[in-house]
Amino acid sequence: MGEKKSVWEHLKAWVDGEEVILDADKYIVNRSKREKKNWRRNFSMEYIRGNVKLYRFLSIAISVLFIGIMLSVVNDLPEFGNPANPADNEVMERYLESGIEETGATNFVAGMILDYRAFDTFGEANVLFLAVMCVVLLLKKDQKNYSAKEEQENREDDFFDENEKRPILQIGGKLLAPLIILYGIYVILNGHLSPGGGFSGGTIIGAGLILYASAYGQKKMQTFFTFRTFTLICVGGLLTYCACKSYSFFTGANHVGFEIPKGIPGHILSAGFILPLNICVGLIVACTMYGFYALFTKGDI
Amino acid sequence: MREIIAAIFIIMGIIVFLLSMFGVFRFKYVLNRIHAAALGDTLGLGSIVVGLMILGTDFFAGAKLFLIILFFWLSGPIATHSIAKVEILTNKNYEERVRDK
């Protein structure tokens, strides 16, 4: 067995019974461990500098490849402005012709996402709620995942929050945060009349809350926005949405026997369920925005 | 005449924005970069909106544009100031502040 054989020859010899390992136990104890090959190669700077041309060529090649894929896809798209396109079929016509009559909203987008496709929006609101619940699960402090070191760090943070003077940020927050929150409320309440709606208005309100919290510290924020109000608003908004939409779907999804009056299109109290649904979605989005900020900075709302 | 003055203001704003973009990509250290970025947010946006105010004939449209200027000149410097303060308070590496790499 002195001469070198390839793996296949070894295998063939083993199958034929010509080659056995004598005293295998000793061999197993004494054999040297095979070195693990490092599959994750660490590229050193010298290696990269030596192969600049290759990298340039590869980057250009990859870009050209992707541009080619995109252009071929664009080439296969239907022609722009062709009346026989799938985008110009009867669904859009139906929305444009009888959208105001059926939903009562002058903003067609609001009529679409909160009336024709309300289940889809419900799913989106649920996704937001689930995301913030996962963050709460991972990052919120409680007795089990809370060490003394973190406690110490937290106390230092609180100390800085209370004693640090930031007059510029505080005056700015005092002037701007109410205006931002007021504008967000306007966007939510006019969701069925003008561009905007629950998602964008809720994001604006969340930005105002974040500005206030960063200027005045989390402790002052907790005088009116605790974890309890957070869960109440989120769950209450989702349940109200669910109840409203269940009512309209169980009384016949095509608005048969639909009791809520539509009102005059263009007035603030019109469009049936769209206004309360917008308010629910806006509250959920605002809470989610602020919740993410608070959980990632301090681990508590 | 009015269009020409408005065009001068808007082109000036665009040039300031270009310079600020160039600065953001050219500089390496945080304070230099926020200096360049804040330039575009205040002077560039201000002159573009002033040009639009001159261009528009409606008084209330001009008033709304003035509110936009007011909002940005309030919020932009405050944000820049906060970032700079955090950088000064937390970065202990003095060499990085002084020398450019």
Question: CA-CA distance, A143 to A265, in Å (whole number)?
Answer: 54
Q: How far is B33 from chain A (nearest CA, A)?
A: 21
Inform me whether the pLDDT recorded for A54 exceeds 80: yes
b/e map of A65-103 (b: 16 or more CB within 10 Å)?
A: eeeeeeeeeeeeeeeeeeeeeeeeeeeeeebeeebbebb
Which residue of A lies nearest to B83 if distances are taken between CA atoms?
A169
Q: Which among B21, B28, B22, B36 is positioned nearest to B76, based on CA atoms?
A: B36
Question: CA-CA distance, B28 to A224, in Å (whole number)?
Answer: 42
Look up residue A113 and give its DSSP letter.
Answer: I
b/e map of A233-262 (b: 16 or more CB within 10 Å)?
A: bbeebbeebeebbeebeeeeeeeeeeeeeb
Q: What is the pLDDT of residue A259?
A: 62
pLDDT in tens, A40-51: 767 777 777 788
Question: CA-CA distance, A179 to A106, in Å (whole number)?
Answer: 26
Q: A296 pLDDT band (50/70/90 cuts)?
A: confident
Query: Is B78–A172 a contact, with Cβ atoms under 8 angstroms apart?
Result: yes
How many CA atoms lie within 13 Å of A87's alpha carbon, on the beta-carbon side? 6
Q: Would you mind telling me the total number of residues written for chain A in this entry?
A: 301
Alpha-helix residue ranges (DSSP H) falling in chain A? 7-16, 24-30, 45-50, 52-76, 90-103, 108-111, 118-139, 148-163, 167-189, 198-216, 218-221, 227-250, 274-297
Which residue of B lies nearest to A165 if distances are taken between CA atoms?
B85
pLDDT in tens, B47-65: 999 999 888 888 888 898 8
When mean pLDDT is compared over A85-99, A152-166, B44-58, the highest value belongs to B44-58
Over residues A4-24, the mean pLDDT reads 73
Which residue of B lies nearest to A179 if distances are taken between CA atoms?
B71
Over residues B58-85, the mean pLDDT reads 88
Question: CA-CA distance, A206 to A284, in Å (whole number)?
Answer: 10
Contacts of B9 (CB under 8 A, 6+ apart): B47, B48, B50, B51, B54
- Summary mean pLDDT of chain A: 80
Quick check: helix, strand or coil at residue A265?
strand
Q: What is the pLDDT of residue A254?
A: 61
Which whole-number Å values give the CA distances from A246 to A77, A104, A119, A122, A252, in the listed order? 38, 19, 10, 11, 10
Total number of domains constituting chain B = 1
Q: Name which residue leads in pLDDT, B14 or B90.
A: B14
Q: What is the pLDDT of residue A67?
A: 96
Q: What is the pLDDT of residue B11?
A: 93
Return phi, psi of residue A265, to 5°.
-60, 130
Q: Name which residue leads in pLDDT, A40 or B81.
A: B81
Chain A neighbors of B82, CB-CB under 8 A? 166, 169, 214
For chain B positions 36-95, those within 8 Å of chain A (CB to CB) are: 71, 74-75, 78, 81-82, 85
Inform me whether the pLDDT recorded for A180 exceeds 70: yes
Q: Name which residue leads in pLDDT, B4 or A244.
A: B4
Q: How far is B74 from chain A (nearest CA, A)?
A: 7
pLDDT in tens, A95-139: 777 777 777 777 778 778 877 777 888 888 888 888 888 888 888
Q: What is the pLDDT of residue A269?
A: 74
Q: B100 pLDDT band (50/70/90 cuts)?
A: low
Which of B70, B78, B88 to mutate to test binding with chain A, by most A CBs within 10 Å of its CB? B78
pLDDT in tens, A216-255: 877 788 888 888 888 888 889 889 888 888 877 777 666 5
When mean pLDDT is compared over A59-73, A121-135, A183-197, the highest value belongs to A59-73
Return phi, psi of residue A185, to 5°.
-65, -40
When mean pLDDT is compared over A88-92, B66-70, B86-90, the highest value belongs to B66-70
Q: What is the pLDDT of residue A1?
A: 46
Question: CA-CA distance, A137 to A54, in Å (whole number)?
Answer: 46
Q: Which among A212, A177, A179, A188 is positioned nearest to A283, based on CA atoms?
A: A188
Over residues A264-280, the mean pLDDT reads 78
How many CA atoms lie within 13 Å of A26's alpha carbon, on the beta-carbon side? 3
Q: What percent of chain B has pLDDT over 70?
A: 91
Domain that holds residue B20: 2-98
Q: What is the pLDDT of residue A227?
A: 84
Query: Is B74–A169 a contact, with Cβ atoms under 8 angstroms apart?
Result: no
Chain B neighbors of A176, CB-CB under 8 A? 71, 74-75
